[in-house]
Chain A
């Protein structure tokens, strides 16, 4: 049979009344599928036999569940019993008893009933009475059934019925909920999202038990059919924000989405910006907190990270354990992170600018120490710094790719031995090693890896400007960054909130900025939450 696909790669066939036709179509679709399980059964009933066809994908489906809820009741428990329609009319001459025992009928045969109606009656009987499944749905489109089967559900076809049943039997291969790898913290919950969509939504539901938390679910990717869900608080989120996100998600077609990282790039308004305009997290507590602030969390199947929308520059400096520690500790940590960001971007460039153009600003003893350390170095300072920075980036990249223990080893070997050897070989001076090491340490203090990478990239831009124009060049670079950052927006929210809030509500916006105020003073939700519904803390 020739299978027709539309431009969205969807099958356009209906579910046929004739079971053989359905089987033929499914055989064509799943030809050369070694892992497909399909079987035709004959259900023996008093009024005659009924043809049944079951199909699912091995490896994605809970086989036991199929057996327990479908095959066993239909083949054994209901064997040789009457089929009764839910409205009370029977299709066979003898009496039948429903599984629930609610209805028991004996009646005259309905010879006049058409074959189609009989089949429908049988279908309804099976659907409502004879299976033990809860999550069972009807489908009239073959494409929908196939899509469900591909997601791990089981398709059930009844001879004579122009409908099919889809039983939710997903049992996707997944790993257990583990500790967060990239956003580890000393305090707070240790669970993290994994690749299973339902586990991820469950982790959020576990934290927010409010019927107002909605989950709008759909799929993306013509071929991958990746499930995604928008989770939000109905009464807190701005409807316009939700609409904007949905519109953006519908604004493109793509073959497949395999991770939230791919979706991030499609959601960002300024693709050329080095700064991430949406935030990803692997921590359910962070995502739940965002939902409570009136933001939207986008959960993507197969991705261990969820996307938080909208986001601001400041949110990337917020770590989950800031809120679990005492406010002074949290504030101090924030200050350190901001300082770390400045060090990461500016320190190597400033070192070049000051030593090459403005040595007069350095204290004399320190300057002479730098000059002494550099006396035997062949390369100019800029080359020296670039050399060390590239070496560090190489070590970092190699450390990520290598398995755990080897990755650690390469860090130690690179940092200590190669660095020491480079100094002894007069390739670089000790001061440069200190500068690069400090920059590297600072880059790791930024809680978001993606954000930290941006700063590491910008560091090279600043090195260039510092080498060409000195401090003035660095100033120009900072100005360019400020202009760029002030022009960025994330789904209608200025990226540099609360610095550019335009004094909408300074007290609220600055409560969770560099200084993290005590929890009991943060009475209002931030600006993301809908106006008029911003109070989140009350004293009894």
Chain B
């Protein structure tokens, strides 16, 4: 049989590395690359890719050196060149001390026995060495560096874990909490939403027995019931593909939306700055260094496969980032912290299967967050195990999680934390990820004096809101679904006047529903929701808008500015689909009269008109096109809804240039 052997396969190793690397970079890379590189984003990401490949190569090389070192020591032990200084923790025969008599640094291997802080090394059985080989084996060494290196590693991993928790809270806050607030309570907290994810991650990381127990269990007839690394391997293998689902969908349905000019390399910034920023981005592929502890647990297999997979993953993340920026725009992307989430609102599924699918994608995004937290937690638990010895695995993991959560509370909000994490990565985390394995190999004393200089170089180089209470949830019929939104300049000192066509519910046996018309003067969409609720007794839902009509702003630039503000307000409103068509309207009253008298659903009628227009070749803009035009300066054609003797029709009226300037365009 093949389980219970404390080993993972090459495929499992590859998936563990790829999943963490992809999830760790894809949520941050599009936004940061746009923010850091601007128009040079493609060039910057190419340089980042080269650096990533070099960095991965370094990690792989270091691991190979570590593994070879331990193999040399083991063969030296076999030759009888060993010293035993047995130590028994619980009356068993497990602790033996071995060391190599190498001339340089006296590298030892071993494990701490309970209640004993002294250095121990060696393994008494071949099975016992299954996990503790390579870098891990060296790290357990309590020689010159031993505990110190373990402490450094623990701090690195716990900080990484804390950042991943902040990232998850941010994603939840962006893509989950608003919808829950709509459906459940407007005072629901991020913590209420994030806590279950942390508990699930703890459950995931706690699977299997502590790897170090193998040493004891190797002496027993019946081995452990699956070690933790095996279970982690299986878990990653199982949910690996779920991580990629949203991106596959995005690629499939977003291809025609993208502007492919972002894929052209440009250089509009100093080369030094570009290099520095590219180097900084390496912070987000640091889970690659998990290879150091995963590789020794791997059965026979080629290292090249996982190396290639990691490189391809980084490349995929880069291509997807550029793709997202092609859809969203570089300037817009640089100001949208959660671009990966926001971009899903810009893609529409064909066939009308789902009206919107961005909220469904949260499902898959959270899988990425879970994998990040789970693998970092597992790693932190193992490192704490090195520091504290034979403490129960669950306690170690809980301890690591508590430390990380406390760190989250100490850190500022997401954007600042991201900057802090980036700085930490640039000046400490990336160098340490290479330095710690090097140190674990043992450094000749003559080079030790260089360490303070190196440290000096490094140094000179350089929130969760808790609310509570959950009210009754909102049922589907407790909302008013607007299908038409008509915006015109407000009166009585208010910025906007909103006219809403609210679809009436469709009863069984009825052929169609019509819209009920109501109008409000409001300063914002929040005010609109409040007023609607107080008048109608239902919550307003703008998620099912079929069309947005804007009363024509043809008299002066002031109104055009207001129109720009309206677009930004709509962008901020998560309910309004960015794939909703936007039309100008000349005569509001004429349209309202039609709406009140209509015998058929006007929203569906207008939606059909838009689709018919698109089939005729009319490039009718969606809200996302307006937003991109405002942000990026792209030009779009503006279409208007006009009444003719036969009925309503959509005609092209203007061409809008960047920054919302309107120009007359010929048909």
A361 with B203: CB separation less than 8 A: no
A486 interface residue per 8 A CB criterion? yes
Q: Which of B211-219, B268-276, B505-513 forms contacts with chain A?
A: B505-513
Please report the total number of B residues contacting A with Cβ < 8 Å.
71
B3 with A371: CB separation less than 8 A: no
Q: Which residues of B contact A485 (CB under 8 A)?
A: 238
Q: Tell me, in angstroms, the Cα distance from A529 to B172 when the chains sit together.
A: 46
Name the contact of B360 in the complex, choosing from A361, A371, A473, A487 (C-beta under 8 A): A361
Q: Which of B53-61, B149-157, B226-234 forms contacts with chain A?
A: B226-234
Compute the total of residue contacts between A and B using a CB distance below 8 Å.
196
Q: Which residues of A contact B362 (CB under 8 A)?
A: 471-472, 475
B238 with A475: CB separation less than 8 A: no
A483 interface residue per 8 A CB criterion? yes
A471 with B359: CB separation less than 8 A: yes
Q: Which residues of B contact A476 (CB under 8 A)?
A: 196-197, 200, 366
B1 with A367: CB separation less than 8 A: no
Q: Tell me, in angstroms, the Cα distance from A359 to B480 when the chains sit together.
A: 11
A367 with B476: CB separation less than 8 A: yes
Q: Tell me, in angstroms, the Cα distance from A295 to B356 when the chains sit together.
A: 48
Name the contact of B234 in the complex, choosing from A360, A367, A494, A527 (C-beta under 8 A): A494
A504 with B9: CB separation less than 8 A: yes
What's the nearest-Cβ distance from chain A to residue B225, in Å? Answer: 7
B135 interface residue per 8 A CB criterion? no
B235 interface residue per 8 A CB criterion? yes
B238 with A500: CB separation less than 8 A: yes
Q: Which of A9-17, A72-80, A161-169, A375-383 forms contacts with chain B?
A: A375-383
A373 with B577: CB separation less than 8 A: no
A363 with B352: CB separation less than 8 A: yes
Given the known inter-chain contacts A483-B207, A487-B231, please indicate yes or no for A472 contacting B11, CB distance below 8 A. Answer: no
A472 with B193: CB separation less than 8 A: yes
B505 with A372: CB separation less than 8 A: yes
Contact bitstring B161-205, A, C-beta under 8 A = 1, else 0:
000000000001000100110111000000001001100100110
Q: Which residues of A contact B183 (CB under 8 A)?
A: 356-358, 470
What's the nearest-Cβ distance from chain B to residue A458, in Å? Answer: 15
Contact bitstring B359-380, A, C-beta under 8 A = 1, else 0:
1101100110010000000000
B231 with A368: CB separation less than 8 A: no
B234 with A359: CB separation less than 8 A: no
The residues in A between 435 and 480 inclusive whose CB is less than 8 angstroms from any CB of B are 467, 469-476, 479-480
Q: Which residues of B contact A430 (CB under 8 A)?
A: 508
Given the known inter-chain contacts A479-B204, A486-B207, A500-B234, please indicate yes or no for A469 contacting B193, CB distance below 8 A. Answer: yes
A361 with B354: CB separation less than 8 A: yes
What's the nearest-Cβ distance from chain B to residue A465, in Å? Answer: 9
Name the contact of B481 in the complex, choosing from A371, A373, A375, A492 (C-beta under 8 A): A371
Q: Which residues of A contact B544 (CB under 8 A)?
A: 359-360, 364, 367
Given the known inter-chain contacts A240-B1, A382-B473, please indicate yes or no for A496 contacting B234, CB distance below 8 A. Answer: yes
B12 interface residue per 8 A CB criterion? yes
The residues in B between 231 and 258 inclusive whose CB is less than 8 angstroms from any CB of A are 231, 233-235, 237-239
A375 with B3: CB separation less than 8 A: no
Q: Which residues of A contact B233 (CB under 8 A)?
A: 500, 502
Q: Tell me, in angstroms, the Cα distance from A372 to B513 when the chains sit together.
A: 10
Counting contact residues on chain A (CB < 8 A from B), the size range is 35 or more
What's the nearest-Cβ distance from chain A to residue B111, in Å? Answer: 25
B662 interface residue per 8 A CB criterion? no
B476 with A374: CB separation less than 8 A: yes
What's the nearest-Cβ distance from chain B to residue A124, in Å? Answer: 45
B525 interface residue per 8 A CB criterion? no
What's the nearest-Cβ distance from chain A to residue B474, in Å? Answer: 6
What's the nearest-Cβ distance from chain B to residue A271, in Å? Answer: 13
Q: Tell me, in angstroms, the Cα distance from A502 to B237 when the chains sit together.
A: 8
B133 interface residue per 8 A CB criterion? no
B398 interface residue per 8 A CB criterion? no
Q: Which residues of B contact A381 (CB under 8 A)?
A: 475-476
Interface residues of A (CB under 8 A from B): 238, 240-241, 269, 355-365, 367-375, 377, 380-382, 430, 467, 469-476, 479-480, 482-483, 485-487, 489, 491-494, 496, 499-500, 502-504, 527
Interface residues of B (CB under 8 A from A): 1-4, 8-12, 172, 176, 179-180, 182-184, 193, 196-197, 200, 203-204, 207-208, 225-226, 231, 233-235, 237-239, 352-357, 359-360, 362-363, 366-367, 370, 472-477, 479, 481, 483, 503-508, 510, 513, 541, 543-544, 546, 575, 577, 603-604
Cβ contacts A to B, 28 pairs, < 8 Å: A356-B183, A356-B184, A356-B476, A361-B357, A363-B352, A363-B354, A367-B544, A369-B505, A371-B476, A372-B505, A373-B507, A374-B476, A374-B477, A381-B476, A470-B179, A471-B359, A471-B363, A472-B193, A475-B362, A479-B200, A483-B203, A492-B4, A496-B234, A499-B237, A502-B8, A502-B9, A502-B237, A503-B9
Report, nearest first, the 7 A-B pairs whose CB atoms are least far apart: A360-B543, A502-B9, A357-B183, A372-B505, A503-B11, A492-B1, A500-B234
Q: A357-B180, A373-B508, A487-B208 are in contact. List 8 more A-B contacts (CB 8 A).
A: A367-B355, A367-B481, A368-B506, A380-B472, A380-B475, A472-B366, A479-B204, A496-B234
